[in-house]
Amino acid sequence: MLLLALVLLAGWLAQLGQGASYPQFLRQHVDNPKTRARDDRTYCNMMMRRRGMASPCKRTNTFVHAPARQLQDICGRAGRRAGRNLHNSNNRYRITTCRLARGSTRPPCSYRGGSSTRRIRVACVRRLPVHYDRTL
């Protein structure tokens, strides 16, 4: 029993050490429905500040405009395994990718953005997405 508790504790601590958590994934990557903005540049500048990713300036971030439940399903039947804990989505999702504008390395950060509909890859822990890996 003690051994099981130690194994579970080690796994939990490893997860924390990587900063991988479902609430953090939601904060950094899910915006559904998409917050209104005049254009993608305005959207990115606003959302990166609101979600706490503009101090220090995060180089790139992708927001997915889909219900959290659909994104959870990528870790199950709506995705295909692509590595140890990586899963590729079967479906395409509306996304906005925000990239730090050239020359903007310190706050106030300036972002440029682009919208598209693409498949995505996420890392999953206990059937929940905890890391946005890439756009496919």
Give the integer Cα–Cα distance in Å for 98 and 115: 9
pLDDT at 20 over 90: no
Q: Which CATH architecture has domain 23-135?
A: Roll (3.10)
Mean per-residue pLDDT, 105-122: 95
Catalytic residues: 29, 131
Any idea where the domains of the chain sit in the sequence? Answer: 23-135
- Residue pair 100/42 in contact (Cβ under 8 Å)? The answer is no
pTM of the model: 0.85
**CA neighbours closer than 13 Å in the CB half-sphere of residue 28:** 20
- Residue pair 44/98 in contact (Cβ under 8 Å)? The answer is yes
Give the integer Cα–Cα distance in Å for 135 and 36: 22
Q: What is the separation of C-alpha 125 from the centre of its chain, rounded to a whole number of angstroms?
A: 14
Give the integer Cα–Cα distance in Å for 135 and 93: 10
Q: What angle do CA 15, 126, 34 make, to 5 degrees?
A: 90
pLDDT at 133: 98
Least confident of 8-12, 79-83, 122-126: 8-12
Confidence of residue 19 (pLDDT cuts 50, 70, 90): low
